[in-house]
């Protein structure tokens, strides 16, 4: 079991990371059992825990996963579940990816009932540091 000081230090560390509001990838190597930590509330933190003793191949594998931009955007693709990915929506889907990758401001206009609100909410949920301004 982890002692309370260690848990408090770890929680302070995670809180500081969450305040940065950018995706941060962390690999923790420890001889303590850290798998009981609840880090699900930290949406900007992606953490992998490797227990000692560990192999350098497992460490290299985790580093490679973090460095692979494709995997990061495959995760992003999974989060855009409600947008049907057909030929007709491919332009919208690709635009959402560009907006998120480049941190762009967006004005969405169109007729009533065309899904503007859904697209705005999708973008906002993936880049939550910016608020939606409805006009």
| More reliable by pLDDT, 71 or 11 | 11
Query: Per the structure block, which two tokens stand in for 50?
Result: 């490797």
By the 8 A CB rule, do 29 and 65 touch? no
Per-residue pLDDT at 78: 45
Give residue limits of the domains in the chain: 4-67, 72-126
pLDDT higher than threshold 50 for residue 1: no
Least Cα distance to 126 among 92, 89, 101 occurs for 101
Strands 24-30 and 45-51, bridge-based pairing: parallel
pTM of the shown model: 0.37
């Amino acid at each position: 079991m982890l002692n309370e000081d260690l848990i408090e230090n770890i929680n302070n560390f995670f809180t500081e990371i969450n305040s940065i509001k950018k995706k941060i990838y962390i690999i923790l190597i420890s001889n303590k059992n850290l798998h009981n930590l609840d880090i699900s509330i930290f949406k900007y933190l992606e953490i992998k825990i490797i227990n000692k003793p560990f192999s350098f191949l497992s460490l290299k594998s985790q580093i490679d996963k973090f460095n692979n931009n494709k995997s990061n955007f495959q995760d992003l693709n999974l989060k855009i579940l409600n947008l049907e990915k057909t030929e007709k929506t491919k332009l919208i889907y690709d635009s959402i990816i560009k907006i998120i990758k480049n941190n762009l401001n967006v004005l969405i206009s169109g007729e009533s009932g065309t899904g503007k609100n859904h697209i705005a909410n999708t973008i906002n949920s993936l880049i939550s540091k910016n608020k939606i301004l409805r006009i």
